[in-house]
């Protein structure tokens, strides 16, 4: 019985299949021209798309470059020379190039190779470790082809994305996919201030060495800088809006200067709660206390910690902004002076071996022309060096020299760079004190400092 039943089922399936086959043959016989026309249209559409991609690649490749770097690294307590590199793309016809900061970090020599094989020495205009964006520049008399950066608000999930890079051994590799997501986060464990939601997710795969290359839309405009390959079939590109803002600041100032509220915070229903307010900061000096809840900043309601931190970053250093807090259910109005973000949060290390740090407890950095625009208390004629950090229990603390002050002179001698103060302190080892002229939020001041011998 089981065999008979199986045979009946087999016959029924065979008959149905035969009928279906005959029906399909009938349709194919009656409408061959329609199918040919549809196939032709499909091929035409695919061919048009294929040509579009190829044309974008051909038009964009001359502005995509290979970046080679030479660095000195310590290995077994010995300094050895190493090489590495990545990709980049020209953003102005006078030779400014965007790439990843990690590609050029610590480099002592940078070389750029163009599509035609010609190589040029490049100089580092500026790098920002927080966003992994750097600008380098080459000099050439002839104008260079360049790529435009898109408006980030125009980038849409689902649109086509084309990645071009120049990894070593696989010159001008092209991959394509779609934008899988916007406003993605990727936080490595480090001490840097973390930007939130600044990546575009795409399945346009990138190869080692493609970091710093462009991610293009179907019009050949840059929507991101290819940066990370965390795996799982996706890559991450730095959003074009952030790339545009950071690169312009690097070109104008050579570095990124960020405002900061030096306190620990977390989001709550009413606003932002201060879980710890650090002493000897502008936050504590303005009257902010632990457990205060910030509900309004500069006349606008505070809604979340991410947006608040991004707002503070863009504020002028040393500028006072009105702020409202809830303290034990009472609303209090204060004036908050914005700090500059501490060096460790932006990836700058302190030179603890410097004479200035050892003798007076000050860590300083070079003043960059044009940076005055980020400081409320400085102007374009000011020159000197910026105090980045003041060592605890040091002569600098006793002299009340604040972080962010611009030192303009030592014992009446003008200071133009960090080496000037270093050399002065190193040569004058017999003196017991010095007088520094500096500019801070309190105006122009003088301070006499006793030296540590």
In degrees and rounded to multiples of 5, residue 187 shows phi and psi of: -115, 115
At 177 the three-state DSSP class reads strand
Chain length of the chain: 453
Asked if 211 is an active-site residue, the reply is yes
Q: For tokens 């017991």, name the residue.
A: 432
- What distances in angstroms separate CA 391 from CA 65, 278, 396, one per listed residue? 43, 15, 7
Asked if 253 is an active-site residue, the reply is no
- The conformation of residue 320, written as its DSSP 8-state character, comes to E
- What distances in angstroms separate CA 242 from CA 236, 332, 402, one per listed residue? 14, 35, 31
The residue among 96, 104, 98 whose CA lies nearest residue 137 is: 96
Distance between CA atoms of residues 380 and 299, nearest Å: 29
Of the candidates 87, 102, 239, 440, the residue annotated as catalytic is: 102
Per-position b or e across 249-284, b if 16+ CB within 10 A of its CB: bbbebbbbbbbbbbbebeeeeebbbbeebeeebbbe
φ/ψ bin of 95: left (φ > 0), alpha (ψ from -120 to 50), beta (otherwise): left
User: Which helix (H) or strand (E) covers residue 37, if one does?
Assistant: helix 32-60
Of the candidates 60, 211, 371, 440, the residue annotated as catalytic is: 211
Asked if 298 is an active-site residue, the reply is no
Distant-in-sequence, close-in-space partners of 57: CB < 8 Å, separation ≥ 6: 162, 164, 174
Distance between CA atoms of residues 204 and 247, nearest Å: 24
Of the candidates 60, 66, 132, 166, the residue annotated as catalytic is: 132
Q: Helix and strand tally (H, E) in the chain?
A: 9, 26
User: What is the set of active-site residues?
Assistant: 102, 132, 211
């Amino acid at each position: 019985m089981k065999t008979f039943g199986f045979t009946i089922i087999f016959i029924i399936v065979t008959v149905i299949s035969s009928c279906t086959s005959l029906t399909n043959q009938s349709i194919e016989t009656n409408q061959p021209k329609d199918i040919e026309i549809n196939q032709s249209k499909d091929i035409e559409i695919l061919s048009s798309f294929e040509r579009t991609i190829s044309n974008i690649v051909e038009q964009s490749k001359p502005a995509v470059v290979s970046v080679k770097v030479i660095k000195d690294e310590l290995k077994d307590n010995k300094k050895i020379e190493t090489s590495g590199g990545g990709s980049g793309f020209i953003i102005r016809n006078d030779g400014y190039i965007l790439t990843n900061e990690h590609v050029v970090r610590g480099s002592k020599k940078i070389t750029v190779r163009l599509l035609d094989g010609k190589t040029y020495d490049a100089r580092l205009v500026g790098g920002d470790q927080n966003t992994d964006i750097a600008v380098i520049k080459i000099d050439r008399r002839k104008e260079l082809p360049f790529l435009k950066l898109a408006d980030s608000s125009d980038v849409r999930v689902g649109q086509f994305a084309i990645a071009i890079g120049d990894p070593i051994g696989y010159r001008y590799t092209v991959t394509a996919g779609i934008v899988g997501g916007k406003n993605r986060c990727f936080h490595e464990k480090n001490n840097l201030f973390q930007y939130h939601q600044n990546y575009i997710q795409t399945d346009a795969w990138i190869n080692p060495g493609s970091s710093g290359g462009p991610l293009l839309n179907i019009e050949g405009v840059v929507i991101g800088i290819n940066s990370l390959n965390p795996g799982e079939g996706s890559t991450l590109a730095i959003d074009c809006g952030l790339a545009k803002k950071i690169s312009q600041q690097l070109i104008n100032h050579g570095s990124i200067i960020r405002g900061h509220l030096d306190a620990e915070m977390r989001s709550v229903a009413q606003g932002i709660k201060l879980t710890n307010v650090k002493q000897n900061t502008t936050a504590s000096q303005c009257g902010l206390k632990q457990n205060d809840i910030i509900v309004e900043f500069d006349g606008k309601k505070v809604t979340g910690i991410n947006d608040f931190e991004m707002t503070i970053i863009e504020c002028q250093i040393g500028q006072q902004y009105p702020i409202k807090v809830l303290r034990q259910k009472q609303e209090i109005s204060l004036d908050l002076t914005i700090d500059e973000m501490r060096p460790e949060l932006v990836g700058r290390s302190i030179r603890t071996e410097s004479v200035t740090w050892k003798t007076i407890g000050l860590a300083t950095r070079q003043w960059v022309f044009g940076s005055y625009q980020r400081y409320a208390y400085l102007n374009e004629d000011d020159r000197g060096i910026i105090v980045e950090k003041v060592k605890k229990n040091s002569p600098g603390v006793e002299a009340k020299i604040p972080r962010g002050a611009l030192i303009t002179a030592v014992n009446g001698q003008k200071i133009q760079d960090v080496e000037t103060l270093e050399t002065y302190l190193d040569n004058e080892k017999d003196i017991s004190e010095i007088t520094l002229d500096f500019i801070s939020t309190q105006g122009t001041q003088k301070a006499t400092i006793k030296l540590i011998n």
